[in-house]
Amino acid sequence: MKFMKKVPLHIQLLLTVASCLSFSSILIAANISFLKYGLIDDFTESDLKQLQTEYLYTLNSKKPGEAHKWNNKETGNGGEITVIKRYKLDENHCKRLQFKSFSGKKSATSYYNFCLFESQWKFVP
């Protein structure tokens, strides 16, 4: 795949830490390390598990312009995930998502691309 590059060390570290949190099977299918510059440091393990479920739901069921709100009742953290556009990259179906996230300390808006490879959504830098 010509668009894939060597994975930076800081991403590898995030993956290692995340896998130690006992939800590595989800991370294989849906890596959350793309949020490293967002609110990930404020989110609990419970928030991260729910966020994975929520953005996969959005990728699988929402069309461009459609938003999906989520909130973790345990922590009060949450956000809104919106499909910005749908496109193709090397014949793979892709979507660009907008993440509006909030925690008790801060809020952030960020954008990330995902493509469907062998029936699994993968973060595309």
Encode pLDDT of 42-86 as tens digits.
788 899 899 899 999 999 999 999 999 999 999 999 999 999 999
Residue type, 91: E
97 bridge partner residues: 83, 112
Q: In what order do the strands lie in the sheet with 120-124?
A: 67-71, 78-89, 92-102, 107-117, 120-124
Residue 56 three-state SS: helix
C-beta of residue 5 within 8 angstroms of C-beta of residue 91: no
Residue 61 three-state SS: helix
User: 116 versus 1: which is more confidently predicted?
Assistant: 116
Closest by CA position to 3, among listed 101, 114, 110? 114
Unique residue bearing structure tokens 């795949």:
1
pTM, whole model, 2 decimals?
A: 0.69
Phi, psi of 14, rounded to the nearest 5 degrees? -60, -40
Judged against a pLDDT cut of 90, whether residue 36 lies above it is answered with no
